[in-house]
Amino acid sequence: MHPDFATILNWRLLAGSHPFPGPDGGTCINEAAIVAAGLPYRAIRSSTDCPPCFSRPIAAYALGLNDAMPDAVRPQLLAFVLRLSGSADTPEVETARTRRLALDSVRRILAPLCAIAGMAEDAEVCAGAPDWPAAFAAARSATWRGGALSQAASQARRWREGALTAAVSRTATAAQRAGEDARCAAEVAEGAAPFVAGTWAEACAILDATLTIGRQAPEIAVNGARERLDAARGLAPV
């Protein structure tokens, strides 16, 4: 990614769906990708609202990150604006993408959260999961252990420990659902981010890796995308 990619596109990402781009840009990641690709604009409330040429699991994960990220870090997603349109692939590939998002979320995001919460054994098992079934089992174990540790910590008035282990339990629960619903993989990042530095950058790296599976979006010239984005800003109602 060009280091000044966000500046080149001159667009601002916002949480939520938007019926039209604001004069400063102002859309979610998928809405921005629609404009950049020259497709008819539409508000995106879920991945099913995206054009058929968008990979559903990738769009769901990107949208989940978009809505959960703080304003200061959401511009990291602009690196993917030109990589979403045309990424749709076969059901088998889309399933592989969903499982990759889930597996990497357990290995790369849930594992560090477990480590910070003092759950070293769970962290090791999560980080070393060789495939999705093993990762699912590791997340399920972390859910139960985190819940039990949180209850014990609360009873002993160890509030910080209780908050951390409760976060593990919630986040591990989301990780278990991520194998079927890619947006839940974004919830894994959302659950870990308040406790683990660098979580949002790790989530973007997971998105980047998943985009290498299957069909790649056709190359879109940056200058052309910028022109379409600028035109959309100029047509936005005031």
Alpha carbon distance 14, 17 (integer Å): 8
| Residues 55-84 pLDDT 10s | 999 999 999 999 999 999 999 999 999 999
Average pLDDT of the residues in 19-43: 88
The whole-number pLDDT of residue 8 equals: 61
What is the tens place of the pLDDT at every residue in 173-227? 999 999 999 999 999 999 999 999 999 999 999 999 999 999 999 988 888 888 8
Residue 236: the pLDDT is 56
Element (DSSP H or E) covering residue 182 = helix 182-192
Predicted model pTM: 0.93
Share of the chain above pLDDT 90, in %: 76
- Residue 19's pLDDT is what? 84
Q: Which two tokens stand for residue 100?
A: 């990759």
